[in-house]
Structure 1
Amino acid sequence: MVNNAVMTTARKLGAVALALIAAQIVVRAVLVIWGNFYWDDLILIGRASSYPILSWDYLGYSHDGHFMPAAFLVAGLTTVIAPVQWWLPALTLVVLQAVASLAVWRMIRIIAPRARGWALAALTFYLFVPMTVSAYVWWAAGLNTLPMQAAMAVVVGNAIVLVRDQPDAARSRRLMIGAVAAFVVALLFFEKSLFILPVAFVAGLLALRGSMRPQWHGEETDYRSSVLSQTFLRARTLWLTLAGVFVAWSALFLATSTATAGVHSFGQTAHLVWRSINDAIIPSLVGGPWVWDRWTPSPPMGFPSVWMIALGWIVLVVLIVVTSRAKRGAPLIWFCALLYAVGAQIPVMWNRSSTNTALELAQTMRYLPDTALVLTIALALIAAAPRDLGAHLADKPAPDPRLAYAGVVSCVLFAVSAMVATMSFGQSWRDDPTGDYLVTARASLAEMDGKTMFDQPVPLEVLLPVAHPNNMISHVFGRLRERPDFGNVTDDLKVLNPKGQLVAGAVSPQRTFEPSRGSCARPGIDEPTRLRLSGPLIDWQWTVGFSYCADRAGTVEIRLEGGDPVQVPVQAGLHAAYVQLDGRGTELRIRPVTPGLKLHTGDGRVGQPVMAELAP
């Protein structure tokens, strides 16, 4: 009878947990439907279009200081399968979130197997806290942090079973292999996953500490030292293996990463860390912030009200005081969790701490998903802790119905508040021109399939020039099956306008040149000729546009001083040609390559490709 009642309760608890996870997945699916590619996503796509996806140049690239070969591999495979199509990246985000959420629920049940309301409260916090949202919808960030969250939950859960429950040899081996594999996979996606090892060890120590009977005065064994040694000894194979992976991966990361490059500031780091705590973590504890704003092309930033920040601090203090009085070991659990919340921000903010970095960067909250999970672990550990110094986990008195009711109301209020914040974020996130531009540009480039088109950057609102060359359409759309050939010679200049529509192009008149000698009836260029420009050119890539008359089909060679010559096919009769070439100087050099070919050029321009409607 008792066993049946326990199993029934467990099934009901599991059903509620799965319902909560399903609700989260629905919300997250809506968010990705509202979203699209953004910034680093296009850089990943651009590199996948420029390198073989199994090459080290692609997989081992240090992207903005990150070493993430598995994330690059997923991005590369996705780009090959469905180039510049959002549905597949969106699906990867939803699937990864589902895996992470299920892993977190498994971890919570391992940590606090007898807790019911507390377990669901911890799960509700993880599933809906706004700290995890901004890194989720951004594909490049989600590929980093979602595997880390899933792996942290797996490693922490397995480690606690090994340390606290001491399973038999066969199960211990399975748990160890699973934890090590999860750790390695997470590192392949994100170097910050190195934090999993200390988090797992501390979680194992705290779980063991909460399950062991404390020593009384006069007994010889020192309680704290025995817990520390037992935490290591009971899972020493796991800790030593994870430590070996930690050291090897750290060495590889330091050898390949550019994370420490650039100018950094201790003062700016401190300001960013405080802003991350006060304006991001604290309001998240009450489901905030409710207001998000976006300065395109930046991601949305949360702007919590003063009352929400104040309420967040009050809730944190109340939770610490109440749980510390009710649960043995709660103060230490809170100390470790808050230490991580602060400490984990320091290396991230240090890498972003140039004097030009806006403090609002910390309010994007994209560096906080792992902090949300660590706080979830803390709530689960507190749930599992005995109520007083002499009680064991199984001896807890029946909960006060009024406290249970208050807990349910608090969870509901938190979830509602978090939904307000999430929907506000989603509306801000969808206010971005990138998705519409990519869809339109993909259709426009299909119209040029088999033809030649000059390369050009995407609009500034989509990707800034600092991402060059990955901001060029040849990189963003390089894997499309129906697209033009990106070359340096064409007789029909077309460009994409800021909306991605294909329009007639022209050459801006930075410099001009006059017609060559002769006429169409008597072409004068039959040997190397120099056409004087209206002014000097700096060393750059220039586009030359001119009309010509040729007496036969053939090839001519055009070059600027200091640049490589470009061979241009010409047709008999009156036509136009557009050529991109590097160089500098005050004259354009042209010579027929085909024997007997004669050519006459009309007025010409040297400048940059622009929309014809904007050309003077």
Structure 2
Amino acid sequence: MDGDNPDRRILGGTRTIAGAAVALIAVYVVVRIVLAATGGFYWDDLILIGRASTHNVFGWDYLAHNHDGHFMPGAFFLAGLATLLAPTQWWPAAVTLVVLATAVAVAVWRMITIVASGRPRWAQVVVLAFFLFTPMTVPSYVWWAAGLNTLPMQFAMAWLVGDAVLLCAGVSHRQTRIIVWRSALIYLVALTCFEKALYIVPVVFAATVLWCRFGALARERESSVPGPLAAAFVGAKPLWQVLAPLTLVWAVVFLSVTGGQGAAGRHSMVQALHLTWRSVNNAVIPSLVGGPWNWDRWIPSPPMGFAPVWQIVAGWVLLAVAVVVMVRLRRGAWPVIVAAAVYVVAAQFPVMWNRSSANTALELAQTMRYLPDAALVMTLGLALVLACPRPAVVRRRPVLPIAAAVVVVLVASSGWGLWNFQRSWRNNPTPDYLATARASLASDPDRIMFDQALPLEILTPVAYPENQISHTFGRIRPTVRFGAVTDDLKVLDQRGRLVPGGVTPARTFAAGRGSCTDPEVRSITRIPLSGPLIEWRWTVALSYCANRDGRMSVQLAGGEPVVVDVRAGLHVVYVQSVGRGTAIALRPLTAGLRLHTGEGRVGEVAEAALLK
């Protein structure tokens, strides 16, 4: 009967497994949509927006910017397009993240099915579930700037592994050309988004060598190919011939742009080792059991995972059990396990070295934003273990039900940890501030605004000049009118509302010796300050009374004179100028104009309510 046809049963099982994989990916995508929809911009995101708002997003100066040691023209380009489309609005960034994450999931499933081809399909679904729901990929996903770096790298690594294995398995000449040029293009895109993508080729080559030990080429052409290393090199030779020079050229470009310099400051070997161990022990290991469950955030830092001791111990125990099971059930699993472990540890050290300094807290390693590629390599390792043959003599055990039960428990644990992470991540003042500020600025589009710093919990001065509102809101519509002179100073408060502004008393100056009936300023006049000013953009609060309407210039030493329109009578004017020195120079520009100046201040713009 048809119901007893083995081919139909196999086909039905294949369809069921494919359906399970699609269902898992669908759940993953829904979770990613929720994460993106409830997220918002944070820290480096505003730096990307600021540069896209003040530069030509198609220009090399913008695309080749050395961003804290990163050379990422592709990521800058995507950020620029999103900023042009909807400045400071989250939805283009969210769409970008969801699309890229979906592409990564598909590429990982493709990689698993190619690498572990012919092995138990349900086991492949279990491996896919590990990647889709591991907490290691979440913190870098919700952070737009990090996602623009890591998601293209994950996609490229997974796709290139699949392509290299296909070449070693044997394909036609035409297919080889397609695979090689497709892989080269994908690799190049990943490189433009993140210099860490330079790790891709070593990972792909190592994975291909490990696969070739028991892959089709090693089995079928053992007489002509002496070993897995030669098999991997020969089988995918056209691919290596393109990727190797591309890697070399890009490395040279990266070094020429960044000078090989990462984050500023002195680095510490001891600190880097401590950070690397903290990343492995307090982030990677608890993630194996769905942790950390506890997340804390010290704004403006990102959330940090604090796994309890029992969760770390459980992670080590699960890892040990998994290693024993893989070694017993798959011949030749040891090299795969060692290679994956080496990558997970070794890939963390350069990042932690770059971040190590006397002021670096060890909790940095617990943000888990440096682990998505480690999660992918661990997934690749599981797929390679599946590709290994069973031992000649092994007792059949109900592995699948046990594995399925473990996966269900771990996915549930990961879900709880994800829920707590998301609650911590949403404790972010940036989205509300941006939305309120956009509405405030749009409510009075004709107003002259002075530049000012974003609130410290949004972006600190270390990001100057990208922490200035002229950079953040430089492309919003209607266009904000930024100027250097106003007689009605308004500023954005901590929540983004437009409120009366004032000037902090960094320096003060006394009233002039004249009076409104006998103005003292008739020609160039220096008004001494209470102390010296360093070179900076300062705001002068100047009260005056003038005998007529006219124009005068206000200047600080080392700066350009600012022309100010004055009105007859008693008024206050605010002037923003770059300069330094110990005095302000006033110069009437209109014939017959005379002024008397009152007490004033030189400092930063601030909320008037905070200056009382």
TM-score by length of 1: 0.94
User: Is residue 463 from structure 1 mapped to residue 459 from structure 2 by the alignment?
Assistant: yes
Q: Distance in 1 between the 2:75 and 2:582 partners?
A: 48
TM-aligned CA deviation for residue 40 of structure 1: 0.5
Query: Which stretches in structure 1 are left out of the alignment for 5+ residues?
Result: 391-395
Q: 1:242 to 1:562 in 2, by over 3 A?
A: closer
**Which deviations, in whole Å up to 9, do the C-alpha atoms of 1:565-590 show, x marking residues without a partner?**
21111233433210122334443221
Q: Distance in 1 between the 2:563 and 2:9 partners?
A: 84
Match of 1:267 among 267, 270, 282: 270
TM-aligned CA deviation for residue 213 of structure 1: 9.6
Q: 1:212 to 1:18 in 2, by over 3 A?
A: closer
Whether the 8 Å contact between 1:550 and 1:574 is mirrored in structure 2 is yes
**Which deviations, in whole Å up to 9, do the C-alpha atoms of 1:230-288 show, x marking residues without a partner?**
11111111112111111111111111125345311111111111111111111111111
Identical positions, percent: 52
Q: Distance in 2 between the 1:330 and 1:137 partners?
A: 34
Q: Where do 1:123-162 residues align within 5 Å? A: 123-162=128-167
Q: 1:106 to 1:585 in 2, by over 3 A?
A: closer
Aligned-partner residue type, residue 234 of structure 2: L
TM-aligned CA deviation for residue 211 of structure 1: 2.8
Whether the 8 Å contact between 2:217 and 2:231 is mirrored in structure 1 is no
Q: Distance in 2 between the 1:210 and 1:315 partners?
A: 27
Aligned partner of 1:352 in structure 2 is 355
Q: In angstroms, what is the RMSD of aligned CA positions?
A: 2.1
Deviates more, 1:590-599 or 1:226-235: 590-599
User: Is residue 8 from structure 1 mapped to residue 12 from structure 2 by the alignment?
Assistant: yes
Q: Distance in 2 between the 1:592 and 1:529 partners?
A: 9
Q: Distance in 1 between the 2:575 and 2:478 partners?
A: 23
TM-aligned CA deviation for residue 606 of structure 1: 2.3
Deviates more, 1:57-66 or 1:1-10: 1-10
SS at match of 2:599: strand
Q: 1:376 to 1:535 in 2, by over 3 A?
A: closer
Aligned partner of 2:29 in structure 1 is 25
TM-aligned CA deviation for residue 365 of structure 1: 0.7
Q: Distance in 2 between the 1:130 and 1:364 partners?
A: 11
User: Is residue 228 from structure 1 mapped to residue 232 from structure 2 by the alignment?
Assistant: no
Q: Where do 1:79-158 residues align within 5 Å? A: 79-114=83-118, 115-158=120-163
Query: Which stretches in structure 2 are left out of the alignment for 5+ residues?
Result: none
SS at match of 1:549: strand
SS at match of 2:435: helix
SS at match of 2:600: strand
Deviates more, 1:251-260 or 1:193-202: 251-260
TM-aligned CA deviation for residue 117 of structure 1: 1.8
Aligned partner of 1:314 in structure 2 is 317
Aligned-partner residue type, residue 339 of structure 1: V
Aligned partner of 1:374 in structure 2 is 377
TM-aligned CA deviation for residue 535 of structure 1: 4.4
SS at match of 1:198: helix
User: Is residue 508 from structure 1 mapped to residue 504 from structure 2 by the alignment?
Assistant: yes
Match of 1:74 among 75, 78, 85: 78
Q: Distance in 2 between the 1:448 and 1:254 partners?
A: 46
Whether the 8 Å contact between 2:473 and 2:480 is mirrored in structure 1 is no
TM-aligned CA deviation for residue 112 of structure 1: 1.6
Aligned partner of 1:64 in structure 2 is 68
TM-aligned CA deviation for residue 609 of structure 1: 1.7
Whether the 8 Å contact between 1:210 and 1:328 is mirrored in structure 2 is no
Aligned-partner residue type, residue 177 of structure 2: R
Whether the 8 Å contact between 2:63 and 2:73 is mirrored in structure 1 is yes
Q: Where do 1:426-437 residues align within 5 Å? A: 426-437=422-433
Aligned partner of 2:436 in structure 1 is 440
Q: Where do 1:26-65 residues align within 5 Å? A: 26-65=30-69
**Which deviations, in whole Å up to 9, do the C-alpha atoms of 1:323-367 show, x marking residues without a partner?**
111111111110111111111111111111112211111111111
Aligned partner of 2:403 in structure 1 is 407
SS at match of 1:49: helix
Q: 1:588 to 1:306 in 2, by over 3 A?
A: same
Whether the 8 Å contact between 1:450 and 1:483 is mirrored in structure 2 is no
Aligned partner of 2:524 in structure 1 is 528
Q: 1:592 to 1:228 in 2, by over 3 A?
A: same
Q: Distance in 2 between the 1:407 and 1:511 partners?
A: 70
Deviates more, 1:85-94 or 1:512-521: 512-521
Match of 1:208 among 209, 212, 218: 212
Q: Distance in 2 between the 1:533 and 1:149 partners?
A: 57
Q: Distance in 1 between the 2:279 and 2:44 partners?
A: 22
TM-aligned CA deviation for residue 450 of structure 1: 2.6
Aligned partner of 2:327 in structure 1 is 324
TM-aligned CA deviation for residue 453 of structure 1: 1.2
Q: Distance in 1 between the 2:609 and 2:476 partners?
A: 28
Q: Distance in 2 between the 1:372 and 1:534 partners?
A: 59
SS at match of 2:106: helix
Q: 1:435 to 1:346 in 2, by over 3 A?
A: same
Deviates more, 1:23-32 or 1:545-554: 545-554
**Which deviations, in whole Å up to 9, do the C-alpha atoms of 1:168-215 show, x marking residues without a partner?**
112222222221111111111111111111111111112121236989
Aligned-partner residue type, residue 453 of structure 1: M
SS at match of 2:316: helix
**Which deviations, in whole Å up to 9, do the C-alpha atoms of 1:371-427 show, x marking residues without a partner?**
10111111111122210259xxxxx99x64x32211110110110011111111111
Aligned-partner residue type, residue 334 of structure 1: I
Q: 1:279 to 1:600 in 2, by over 3 A?
A: same
Q: Distance in 2 between the 1:256 and 1:510 partners?
A: 38
Q: Distance in 2 between the 1:586 and 1:286 partners?
A: 63
Deviates more, 1:242-251 or 1:476-485: 476-485
Q: Distance in 1 between the 2:111 and 2:527 partners?
A: 75
User: Is residue 481 from structure 1 mapped to residue 484 from structure 2 by the alignment?
Assistant: no
Q: Distance in 1 between the 2:346 and 2:257 partners?
A: 24
Q: Distance in 1 between the 2:532 and 2:280 partners?
A: 55
Aligned partner of 1:286 in structure 2 is 289
TM-aligned CA deviation for residue 34 of structure 1: 2.2
SS at match of 1:210: coil
SS at match of 1:583: strand
Aligned partner of 2:245 in structure 1 is 244
Q: 1:322 to 1:533 in 2, by over 3 A?
A: closer
Q: 1:66 to 1:509 in 2, by over 3 A?
A: closer
Q: Distance in 1 between the 2:449 and 2:57 partners?
A: 25
Aligned-partner residue type, residue 597 of structure 1: L
Q: 1:536 to 1:193 in 2, by over 3 A?
A: closer
Aligned partner of 2:255 in structure 1 is 254
Deviates more, 1:561-570 or 1:187-196: 561-570
Q: Distance in 2 between the 1:106 and 1:263 partners?
A: 43
Q: Distance in 2 between the 1:537 and 1:235 partners?
A: 65
Whether the 8 Å contact between 1:447 and 1:483 is mirrored in structure 2 is no
Q: Distance in 2 between the 1:172 and 1:468 partners?
A: 49
Q: Distance in 1 between the 2:534 and 2:157 partners?
A: 54
Aligned partner of 1:393 in structure 2 is none
User: Is residue 296 from structure 1 mapped to residue 305 from structure 2 by the alignment?
Assistant: no
SS at match of 2:230: helix
Q: 1:539 to 1:246 in 2, by over 3 A?
A: closer
Aligned partner of 1:597 in structure 2 is 593
Q: Distance in 2 between the 1:238 and 1:514 partners?
A: 75
TM-aligned CA deviation for residue 87 of structure 1: 1.1
SS at match of 2:157: helix
Q: Distance in 2 between the 1:8 and 1:559 partners?
A: 82
